[in-house]
Amino acid sequence: MLSLLKQKFLRKLESFITLLGRIIEVILTGSSDYKFVFQPFEAFEKVDNPIQAKLLFKEVKEFLENKFSIRLKEPVVIELFSPTSLSWEAGLYQFSGLMGRYRPCSLKTNNTHLIYVLKGLSREKFKGVLVHELSHAYQREVGMLKNEKILKEGMARWLEYKLLINLGALREAHKLTGVKSWLYGGGIRKMLDLEDEVGEERVIPYLKSLL
Ligand SMILES: [Zn+2]
């Protein structure tokens, strides 16, 4: 019912914008066959092109800035990779439940964060992987947790968890806390304990104080 109303509203809006566009074009050129059609932007389910990636990156960036004051100064480049182009190493990453990876890239004094995310993930999964890899980019940029392998991974997982909860993807979120691996599972449990102890908003400042 609601989506039917939405469809109706969009069609009306389309013809209104079309009319407006035609009037302007007729005034300017004397004739017009302008037609405005809404692109079903919001409807995409799988992230498989750079424009979708960019749109979601903006949302993830805002989440990190607004909720955790995490701001990256250096530019971020997101690359989607397809399962067929996996190296054995990337294949291993995928096996361990990670579908992205982070690589710093330095050229003289210019640093760029390169983030690889598997092509074709759902919006939630894509955002989760992106927030995870952006955490690693931030850790590198501010030079935090250099000798804390477990906490380093834990922080990325915890932010991924926080984002998924925020999106209402509870099942995906709880999958993260149930991981049995020492590095991946141990890290996030340590972080959840830390959150209980100091409160959500003090978690990142506390980790930064461990410099
Ligand atoms: Zn990681």
Q: What sign does the CA torsion over 142, 144, 149, 150 have? A: negative
Tens digits of residue pLDDT in 150-197: 999 999 999 999 999 999 988 888 888 877 676 667 888 899 999 999
User: 204 C-alpha vs ligand 1 centroid, how far in Å?
Assistant: 16
Question: Residue 77 in 3-state DSSP?
Answer: strand
Tens digits of residue pLDDT in 18-56: 888 888 888 877 777 777 766 554 556 889 899 999 999
User: 137 C-alpha vs ligand 1 centroid, how far in Å?
Assistant: 10
In Å, what is the CA distance from 30 to each residue of 14, 18, 20? 22, 16, 14
pLDDT for position 163: 96
User: 43 C-alpha vs ligand 1 centroid, how far in Å?
Assistant: 29
pLDDT for position 94: 45
Tens digits of residue pLDDT in 78-97: 999 887 655 545 544 444 44
Task: Please state the pTM of the whole predicted model.
Answer: 0.73
User: 199 C-alpha vs ligand 1 centroid, how far in Å?
Assistant: 23
The DSSP call for residue 30 is S
User: 147 C-alpha vs ligand 1 centroid, how far in Å?
Assistant: 14
Q: Which of 211, 157, 207, 208 is nearest to 181 (CA)?
A: 157
User: 157 C-alpha vs ligand 1 centroid, how far in Å?
Assistant: 7
Beta bridge partners of 100: 117
Q: Does residue 78 come out as left (phi exceeding 0), alpha (psi in the -120 to 50 range) or beta?
A: beta
48, 184 Cβ separation under 8 angstroms: no
Tell me how far apart the alpha carbons of residues 28 and 128 are, in angstroms, rounded to a whole number: 48
User: 44 C-alpha vs ligand 1 centroid, how far in Å?
Assistant: 26
User: 146 C-alpha vs ligand 1 centroid, how far in Å?
Assistant: 13
81, 117 Cβ separation under 8 angstroms: yes
Check pLDDT > 70 for residue 126: yes
The DSSP call for residue 178 is T
- Averaged confidence pLDDT in the chain: 85
